[in-house]
Amino acid sequence: MADSRRLLSEETLQIRDDRAIARALRILERRAGNPGQALGDVTTCEAFFRLRLGGETREHLEVAFLDSQHRLIAVERLFSGSVDGAEVRPRVIVQRALALNAVSVLMAHNHPSGNVEPSAADRAVTTQLKSALRLVEIRLLDHFVVTANGVASMAPREWV
C-alpha cells in the first residue's frame, strides 16, 4: 500500500514537472523562440536549448539560424540519433542556413547520459562545421552541449 502511494506520488510529481516544463518552454519560446526575437546572450541561449533538449532520451542536434542582428529566423531539429550519438552532416546545416539567408548560427545537442562535457567528437564536428560555414560567410557563434541538469557552451573555451 505504501509503495503504491509512493509510486502514485512520484507519477503525480512527474506530471506536475512535465506541465511546469511545458509552461516554461512556452514562455521561453514566446520570448526567444519566435522569428525576430534576439538570441544574443549566452544565458538566454542556454535556457532556450536546455528546455528544448534537456529531457530527451535520444541525442538530437538543433540549429538556430540568425540574421545580422542575432535575431532568430528559425530553429530546427536537423539530426536525431541514439542514446549516445547522432550523425551530423555539415552540408545539411550549410544548405539550410543558405536557404534561410542566415548570417550566423547557434548549434546545440543533448547528451542523454547527463555528462555535460563536450566530447572529442563534439569538438571535431564543431570545427568541421565552423570551417564549412566560413566558406559561405556564415558564422558559427556557439555550440552548446545540453543535459537535464546543465549546459556547456563551447565559445568561452575558444572551441568555436
More confident residue, 28 or 52: 52
Task: Decide if pLDDT at 101 tops 90.
Answer: yes
Instruction: Assess whether pLDDT exceeds 90 at residue 43.
Output: no
Question: How do residues 59-90 score in pLDDT, each as one tens digit?
Answer: 999 999 999 999 999 999 988 877 777 788 89
**Cβ-contact 39, 64 below 8 angstroms:** yes
Q: Provide long-range contacts, Cβ within 8 A and 24+ apart, for 42-45.
A: 42/142, 42/153, 42/155, 42/156, 45/106, 45/108, 45/142, 45/144, 45/153
The upper half-sphere exposure of residue 36, i.e. CA atoms within 13 Å in the direction of its Cβ, equals 1
The percentage of the chain sitting over the pLDDT mark of 70, rounded to a whole number, equals 88
What is the distance between the alpha carbons of residues 8 and 2, in angstroms, rounded to a whole number?
10
pLDDT over threshold 90, residue 159: no
Asked if the model's pLDDT at residue 32 lies above 70, the reply is no
Q: For the chain, what is the mean pLDDT? A: 85
Phi, psi of 147 (to 5 degrees): -130, 175
Highest mean pLDDT among 43-52, 80-89, 116-125: 116-125
